[in-house]
Amino acid sequence: MGSKPNTEVTDGAKQIMDYCKTLQVRSGLNAVDFAKKCGMGQNYWYVRARYDAPLTISDCERIAAACGMTLRELFVNALRPDGTDSEQALAELPASDTARAYEASERESQITDDLIDRIAAHPEDYDVAANRDPNKEIEMNGGEGR
């Protein structure tokens, strides 16, 4: 037997919804157009705006994307005690494991790109075993070479 979904709207959820309503006003769109831009129906938005049900994380992701921000930025700005947006507040937060892994991957990609650029600019500085292989011409022309 299934249970009813928990639709309690906590204080934190209300803060997030209040911030999302602020984003809607800042966007210059009416509630219906903002909801549509965020991939929601009019009734769905109004139910959450009245705190009859909480936004889901997926809802927040769509709202953040529609407003040109990350989900993290949306949450940080929504939950600031003084209610103001702040780049400093984001900078002060510890990075998540996912964010650190992404940044490490980006650094690794940059290092790889830099190495490729260096090799491409000066291939004569890099000795490759295939360039010294005495059988490379034979192999290249279809022979066994060895």
Looking at per-residue pLDDT, the higher value among 82 and 58 belongs to 58
Do 88 and 101 reside in the same domain of the chain?
A: no
Do 65 and 102 reside in the same domain of the chain?
A: no
In a domain, 4, yes or no: no
Do 86 and 64 reside in the same domain of the chain?
A: yes
Do 17 and 87 reside in the same domain of the chain?
A: yes
In a domain, 2, yes or no: no
What pLDDT does residue 51 have?
93
Q: How many domains does the chain have?
A: 2
> Which residue range(s) make up the domain with 87?
11-92
- Global pTM reads 0.56
Residue 122, phi-psi category: left (phi > 0), alpha (psi -120 to 50), beta (remainder) = beta
Quick one: how many helices (H) and strands (E) in the chain?
A: 9, 0
Task: Give pLDDT tens digits for 20-70.
Answer: 999 999 989 999 999 999 999 999 999 999 999 999 999 999 999 999 888
Do 15 and 56 reside in the same domain of the chain?
A: yes
What pLDDT does residue 85 have?
56
Task: Give the pLDDT band (50/70/90) at residue 130.
Answer: low
Give CA angle at 23 (20, 24), nearest 5°.
90
d(CA 34, CA 94): 31
Tell me if 19 sits within 8 A of 78, measured CB to CB.
Answer: yes
**Helix ranges restricted to H, 28-96:** 31-37, 42-49, 57-66, 71-78, 87-92
